[in-house]
Structure 1
Amino acid sequence: MSGLDLRGATAIVGVAESDLGSVGPDRFAVDLAAQAAVAALDDAGLSTRDVDALYSIVPSFGPNLNLGEYLGIRPRVTGGANIGGSAFVSHLYHATMALAAGQCDVALIAYGSTPRADRQRPARAAGIPETPNYQEAYKPRDPVSGYALVAARHMHEFGTTREQLADVAIAAREWAKLNPVAYSHGEPSLTRGDVLGSRMVSTPLTVRDCCLVTDGGGALVVTRADRAKNTRKAPAYFLGAGEAHYHRHISSMPDLTASAAVDSSARAYKMAGLGPADIDVVQLYDAFTINTIMFLEDLGFCAKGEGGAFVEGGRIAPGGSLPVNTNGGGLSYCHPGMYGIFTLIEAVRQLRGEAGARQVKGAEIALAHGNGGQFSSQVTAILGTGAAL
């Protein structure tokens, strides 16, 4: 099966979030994943009885086993490779391959995590380190120290400024003010002074350069394009995807100023037969302000080293020329530990015209990009309305 066979083969037909923010110590990650899953299936006009492929990440041993049992799903295709926050975009790609091959009919992709609620529970014993970590001797404050290292190198090499990083956080807050379920919805606008003057976390990143820590979950329902025509909501068609990873730990990143998103996006654009100029709305994994600048470069929206200047002047904020992270992003909407699924949820809502006050007029093609680890795994997906096929 060639990549071209997948363009337009499937569509996302249901999306939903769980309750977001702070859910309290009586609710767990699997509860939020299940809540989002049932809501996403309802959004599609389907039920758990229709699901025969399950992809999930819920912090536990055997997440698909737990969520499948919880929901009463007995899938004939099961997946859920955890490559960090990009995993859900990867799951969409892999589910598309399984659907196109006739191995399943309806795929459910779900996530839940409760980092805020977990703080209110008894401490659990630390797990066994998964791989040798040669940077541990230097006592980094992970993950922020890795992103701070990239930010510092980008500033040194290209002259990117702290003010330009702040502009990313400012734009995210403005979008969040238009999103009633965003964690920062009711908070005031940010200024450069607010961002630069907030508490330093890991030089050069302050707390306003860092993502939120919230509870939350999300889910997607994916089916073949022929079936998608008969579901409840307008389909968001799969046009292309690509994935890539070069390293696990930041100390092994080949170049601190370029990520594997260069490759993942090139593969997605090729499959979709599109380029950056064709994209109407962009959803990026913005765990830190440097992410947005790096990904705008690596995804081809501007040249390498020009990301800082690109985000100035409100270009990615409401009313700007390139709408980026229209839900408020991980910086101001929600971030339960892995943000990638929310890039897809917002992309679908924009393509359906369901985004309310933050709706991008005439959006027909959306790009959703996931990032895992410390600029480690990168997965890019391009979605479109029926008009984009």
Structure 2
Amino acid sequence: MTMNAFITGAYDTAVGELPGSSCMGLHAQAALGAVADAGLNLSDIDGVLCAYSFTEPHLMLASVFCEYMGIHPGYCAAIQAGGASACIMIMQAAALVASGQCNHVLVVTGDNRLTGMSRDGAVAALAAVGHPQFERPFGISVPASYALVARHYMHEFGVTPEHLAAIAVEHRRHAGRHPKAHKREPITVEQVLASKEIASPLRMLDCCLISDGGAALVVSSKAAAADVRAKPIEILGAGQGHTHEHIIAAPSLTNFGCKDSSATAFARAGVKPADIDVALIYDSFTITLLVELESIGFFERGEAGPAAARGELGLNGCLPCNTHGGLLSYAHSGAAGGMFHAVEAVHQLRGRADARQVEGAKLAFVHGDGGILSAHCSLVFGVH
């Protein structure tokens, strides 16, 4: 099966602390960069997909963006699925070009989460994740919800704080090879374990960053991709999985929608986990990545933590993972966080990842999840 959809342009902005940045400014910079990377003009874009913003919230953010840019596409929509938004938008863009409704779809994200929000504003925005009747009144937080999953995994599969810390250390090692990364200074397992406790067993360095930044892709039809400047990256497979929204309603604390979304994506692409050369998987917390690595099938239950400790997620490991540093060390700026993963996959498959390049990378797996391991979308990218 082929989706007849290709990524023809990719770009992410500077990330980290960007004083004076704005949501729309970051959207514009990312969009113009991706369009230029494809060798196109804004007038070539006939579809636009945006996500959401905490600093400039609007029910019709894609329309706001098009107005800001002065463009009038034939298709325009905003998608809100938390950390899964970027991957879901890419999947939607692929469907739009494969069906002939669009030739070139711009998928764009960005937010100035770090400099554009107060501490109280950030807390209030994240509190919206909790169930209004059964979670929020009791003070549960996003980190506490993931800590619940972590504790269960520790009980069921022998995961240790050292295993989680090894994931954070490897991500920082990856970020150290990326000149744009928000955090590049090396860290040790001991430093992770000594960092401030946020929600036991998760500590500060088990948690993702809060950053400013934007990222965008151009997804084109097979016919339209023939005329672009850069090497097109084919979207070989895509799938989604949804089991719950609130953690109290999760049918399991070990099996989540990533199991189904990845199985669908692999089947549509005609590949299996062992075929993947580089993985870019959502890592809002260290436990997030560990759970997903095992649910997706890259490692058996209880094996991802020891594998991380052995360096198997490193550049020369069996599964180079989040080679840009991920949300833990590269950057996390709302929906752009997941898009950074997709942009890195494009860099890897084009052979443009410089010091962090996975030699001979031909197949990349990209995954995003939103909420408390709630909404999942998996993608398989390939290059001939």
TM-score by length of 1: 0.93
Which of 331, 349, 352 lines up with 2:328 in the alignment? Answer: 331
Deviation at 1:177, TM superposition (A): 0.5
Matches within 5 A, 1:249-264: 249-264=246-261
Deviation at 1:58, TM superposition (A): 3.7
Distance 2:355 2:162 in 1: 27
Which of 271, 275, 290 lines up with 2:272 in the alignment? Answer: 275
Contact 1:174/1:318, CA 8 A, preserved across alignment: no
Distance 1:375 1:298 in 2: 11
With over 3 angstroms needed to count, the CA separation of the structure-2 counterparts of 1:109 and 1:198, relative to structure 1, is: same
Deviation at 1:125, TM superposition (A): 12
Which of 12, 18, 22 lines up with 1:23 in the alignment? Answer: 18
Matches within 5 A, 1:285-364: 285-338=282-335, 339-364=337-362
| Greater mean alpha carbon deviation, residues 117-126 or residues 294-303 | 117-126
Q: Secondary structure at the match of 2:11?
A: strand
Matches within 5 A, 1:67-146: 67-119=65-117, 132-140=132-140, 142-146=141-145
Distance 1:325 1:224 in 2: 27
Deviation at 1:137, TM superposition (A): 2.5
Which of 21, 25, 50 lines up with 2:44 in the alignment? Answer: 50
With over 3 angstroms needed to count, the CA separation of the structure-2 counterparts of 1:125 and 1:265, relative to structure 1, is: closer
- The AA in structure 2 aligned to 1:274 is V
With over 3 angstroms needed to count, the CA separation of the structure-2 counterparts of 1:133 and 1:34, relative to structure 1, is: farther
- The AA in structure 2 aligned to 1:202 is A
Deviation at 1:97, TM superposition (A): 1.1
Paired position in structure 2 for 1:176 = 175
Which of 4, 11, 14 lines up with 2:6 in the alignment? Answer: 11
With over 3 angstroms needed to count, the CA separation of the structure-2 counterparts of 1:310 and 1:66, relative to structure 1, is: same
- The AA in structure 2 aligned to 1:324 is C
Distance 2:331 2:351 in 1: 21
Q: Secondary structure at the match of 1:116?
A: coil
TM-score by length of 2: 0.94
Distance 1:247 1:238 in 2: 27
Structure 1: which 5+ runs fail to align? none
Deviation at 1:220, TM superposition (A): 0.4
Q: Secondary structure at the match of 1:223?
A: strand
Distance 2:165 2:45 in 1: 43
Contact 2:43/2:71, CA 8 A, preserved across alignment: yes
Paired position in structure 1 for 2:214 = 217
Contact 1:317/1:323, CA 8 A, preserved across alignment: yes
Paired position in structure 1 for 2:368 = 370
Report Cα offsets for 1:2-27 as digits up to 9, x if no partner.
xx3xx250110111112311112x32
Distance 2:137 2:90 in 1: 37
Distance 1:125 1:174 in 2: 29
- The AA in structure 2 aligned to 1:181 is K
With over 3 angstroms needed to count, the CA separation of the structure-2 counterparts of 1:163 and 1:120, relative to structure 1, is: closer
Distance 1:363 1:248 in 2: 35
Contact 2:110/2:334, CA 8 A, preserved across alignment: no
Q: Secondary structure at the match of 1:104?
A: coil
- The AA in structure 2 aligned to 1:184 is K
Deviation at 1:56, TM superposition (A): 0.3
Paired position in structure 2 for 1:150 = 149
Deviation at 1:230, TM superposition (A): 2.1
Distance 2:287 2:189 in 1: 15
With over 3 angstroms needed to count, the CA separation of the structure-2 counterparts of 1:365 and 1:374, relative to structure 1, is: same
Structure 2: which 5+ runs fail to align? none
Q: Secondary structure at the match of 1:239?
A: strand
Q: Secondary structure at the match of 1:148?
A: helix
Contact 1:8/1:225, CA 8 A, preserved across alignment: no
- The AA in structure 1 aligned to 2:18 is V
Contact 1:285/1:370, CA 8 A, preserved across alignment: yes
With over 3 angstroms needed to count, the CA separation of the structure-2 counterparts of 1:231 and 1:146, relative to structure 1, is: same
Distance 1:217 1:380 in 2: 21
| Greater mean alpha carbon deviation, residues 214-223 or residues 246-255 | 246-255
Q: Secondary structure at the match of 1:247?
A: coil
Report Cα offsets for 1:197-248 as digits up to 9, x if no partner.
1110110000000011111110000101222132111111010000111111
Distance 1:122 1:138 in 2: 18
With over 3 angstroms needed to count, the CA separation of the structure-2 counterparts of 1:133 and 1:342, relative to structure 1, is: farther
With over 3 angstroms needed to count, the CA separation of the structure-2 counterparts of 1:133 and 1:22, relative to structure 1, is: farther
Aligned alpha-carbon RMSD (Å): 1.9
Distance 1:162 1:112 in 2: 32
| Greater mean alpha carbon deviation, residues 333-342 or residues 272-281 | 333-342
Distance 1:247 1:206 in 2: 26
Deviation at 1:120, TM superposition (A): 5.9
Deviation at 1:297, TM superposition (A): 0.6
Deviation at 1:308, TM superposition (A): 1.7
Contact 2:104/2:224, CA 8 A, preserved across alignment: no
Deviation at 1:126, TM superposition (A): 6.5
